[in-house]
Structure 1
């Protein structure tokens, strides 16, 4: 299903004095026919603004684009949309490249696939962090902070093979906040031009499997899907191709 967002300039006046002006702000929309009043309400909710008196929008554009998880919007990551175990599950979506296309790989902590438990690779509630269209730079904590990542697979939707690496402090934040798996549609989590792999190494050291070269993440909602990338249980082997897929929530 096509998702929509809006871009606009806004001027806000507060009932206790003061004002706020923004340019080119974007929010997720429930559909392409959202009114300016709907967009203004989503804008106020997204920033948690208190004591708002008036909101004036200009240069409003509505266009198809995957939701980013606007606070208070239709794909708010705070909404618990994970289906109950065995119930309310929708269709499956393939997320792996075919072997002739280079494959999709899982790397195991400690270089040992035998140590990857099923609860760290199967039916994980997924958070999709979209940075598509953003300036190519390290993905920082600011991109992750709106999401509840504890006990979730965190899937980075970059839309490019390289250029959106995961910052070292962002990897540390994921460890601290309890992510159980981290995946990306890029060739790797780190800057491929550098030999050092700080993000991948810190995640693996914390017991978090890493999945690289995913595809099809644009077909997943920001939250609510269940992600699987179960590797064979091979002792002493650290990295193998996997068949990754997700089960969509029933809308």
Structure 2
């Protein structure tokens, strides 16, 4: 019999229309031994048929092997109960990410037509070459990007870039370019991906993208370092102020990368994420002596939490209790 797993945990649930519940020692089937708390929460909500869930806080989580009959929301249900959100720009030949940097060039190495003379009848392949700077599209900066002795792309631990609990900081529409310390107040950022939703991505692909762009202030970057953020991302052209007034200073890069905190720039789609509850991933390839490379950034969240966020943002009708 294949090995199966269960999660046992205590939970505190709050509902978006008021009220809450608590449970101790609850158990659900889980798909694998390294299941995340977000996945467990989604399974728990589905198993109990809960509606209008505002938040789920788990504690005393224990994963153990135990073949059994299963709960209503078993392992096969986990992917259906998660929403996946793309947070990266699409890369295409000739696109401009940052003014002055080279654009991607895509050329064929082996065309489908030429491959027909190499492989068996009816079998064909295409193999292409892409030439691009690491700073293309949505990309991640490693400490090596700023410091010669910093960790390169091959040296970044996976737990710094994969399946991180996300905190979304919204300044979109505020009219303030610099995301300051005040925007971070009352946020638990320790061990989390701090994602700055500034709205800068609305100008992606236009000259306006580089003009008066939002950024993270040096004081705010120091606050994130002091409070143990795992990663910081922004939906703008740079984590730092790149205007002439900055005179080339890069305090956010210097402080964050100096503390071993990866930076992801040129995100998009952050309006789709709730303030908390999503899991963020932006993994680059393992390239030695290389500081920056394109990533496919994305987030996952329980379907119920995604619906509550979209409803509160006015994208879905409000349910009646």
Aligned counterpart, 2:261:
208
Q: CA 1:116 to 1:80, structure 2 compared with 1: closer, same or farther past 3 Å?
A: farther
Cα distance in structure 2, aligned partners of 1:218 and 1:114? 31
Residue 156 of structure 2: aligned partner: 116
Q: Which has the larger radius of gyration?
A: 2
1:249, distance to aligned residue in structure 2 (A): 2.4
- Structure 2: distance between partners of 1:96 and 1:216: 8
Q: Indicate the SS of the match to 2:175.
A: coil
Change in 2 beyond 3 A, CA 1:124/1:146: same
Say which is worse superposed, 131-140 or 232-241, in terms of deviation.
131-140
Describe how 1:149-160 pairs up with structure 2 within 5 A: 149-160=189-200
Pair 1:167 & 2:217 matched: yes
Does residue 1:231 correspond to 2:281, yes or no? no
**1:177 and 2:227 aligned:** yes
In 2, the alpha carbon distance for the partners of 1:75 and 1:147 equals 21
Q: Which residue of structure 2 aligns with residue 98 of structure 1?
A: 90
CA 1:223 to 1:81, structure 2 compared with 1: closer, same or farther past 3 Å?
farther
Q: Which runs of 4+ in 1 moved over 3 A?
A: 79-89
For 1:166 and 1:147, how far apart are their aligned partners in 2?
Answer: 16
Asked if 1:141 corresponds to 2:175, the answer is no
Q: How far apart in 1 are the matches of 2:53 and 2:88?
A: 24
Distance 1:81 1:217, change over 3 A: farther
CA separation of 1:134 and 1:197: change in aligned 2, threshold 3 A = same
Aligned-residue offset at 1:80: 6.0
Give me the TM-score of the superposition, normalised by structure 2: 0.51
5+ residue gaps, structure 2: 1-15, 19-51, 64-74, 98-136, 146-151, 201-208, 305-321
Aligned to 1:191: 241
Distance 1:249 1:116 in 2: 27
Contact residue 95 and residue 217 of structure 1 kept, 8 A? yes
Q: Secondary structure of the residue that 2:179 maps to in structure 1?
A: coil
TM-score (norm 1): 0.65
1:115 and 1:108, CA in 2 relative to 1: closer, same or farther beyond 3 A? same
In the alignment, the residues of structure 2 paired with residue 175 and residue 91 of structure 1 have an alpha-carbon distance, to the nearest angstrom, of: 30
Q: Structure 1: where are the runs of 5+ without partners?
A: 1-29, 32-37, 39-73
CA distance in 1, matches of 2:58, 2:252: 27
Shift of 1:81: 5.2
Equivalences, count: 179
**Offset, 1:250:** 3.5
SS of the aligned residue for 1:200 comes to helix
Range with bigger deviation, 158-167 or 235-244:
158-167
